Chain A
């Protein structure tokens, strides 16, 4: 079974704090993704990585950065958290063909006060 794990299920942070969300997958997938999930907006892609140290901006990268130092780990960083970044964050991974299934983590619900 593919396992995608995320470091926290729930996180409460204050405005201006630096926030790290960690994602680890155990299937040797090349592709990893960070999405945010908001009611009425569906899933929106924040960043995508297709290999170690490689990254691509998604649809809403502003206010976020990412790090992929190892193949199995993909980190999302909120440099200075703001209240409009309160959301559910989902990590996913897949093989590179594009037709492959994306496997999702359980999500991190982030509340920024």
Chain B
């Protein structure tokens, strides 16, 4: 079965510290990978996708096929980054996403 693991339920960092939200997936090949974010009282929205190789709000995510990981990183956390983050690879068959359990990022001042 295709699995996505986000090992941390909660990640708490101080403002200005580096952030790494971990994501590991279990299936072979080169899946398309996404990070979605949900800020307080807002709807879930796309943060970034692997295929675009872009940086959004200072976040980047690199696909490591050897480790089957797609960790989300930001060099200097801001208080407005506090949110729930979901890693979501595309399923191997069909155009549906598999969501991880999510990680709450709390940035303290």
A→B interface (CB under 8 Å): 4, 31, 33, 35, 40-45, 48, 50, 56, 58, 90, 92, 94, 96-107
* Distance of A42 from chain B, by nearest CB (Å): 4
**Chain A interface, DSSP helix/strand/loop, else mixed:** strand
* Distance of B83 from chain A, by nearest CB (Å): 14
How many Å lie between the Cα of A58 and that of B69 in the bound state?
24
Number of CB contacts from chain A to chain B under 8 A: 51
> Within the complex, which residue of A42, A50, A106 is in contact with B99, where a contact is CB–CB below 8 Å?
A42
Taking CB atoms, residues of chain A closer than 8 Å to B102 are 42
Residue B49 is within 8 A (CB to CB) of chain A in the complex: yes
* Distance of A59 from chain B, by nearest CB (Å): 9
How many Å lie between the Cα of A33 and that of B44 in the bound state?
13
> Within the complex, which residue of A4, A90, A98, A101 is in contact with B46, where a contact is CB–CB below 8 Å?
A101
How many Å lie between the Cα of A50 and that of B44 in the bound state?
21
Q: A40-B101, A41-B101, A43-B99 are in contact. Are A98 and B43 (CB under 8 A)?
A: no
A–B complex contacts, Cβ < 8 Å, 23 sampled: A4-B43, A33-B96, A35-B99, A40-B9, A40-B101, A41-B101, A42-B6, A42-B86, A42-B101, A43-B44, A45-B96, A48-B96, A50-B95, A56-B94, A94-B95, A97-B95, A98-B32, A98-B95, A99-B49, A99-B90, A99-B95, A106-B43, A107-B43
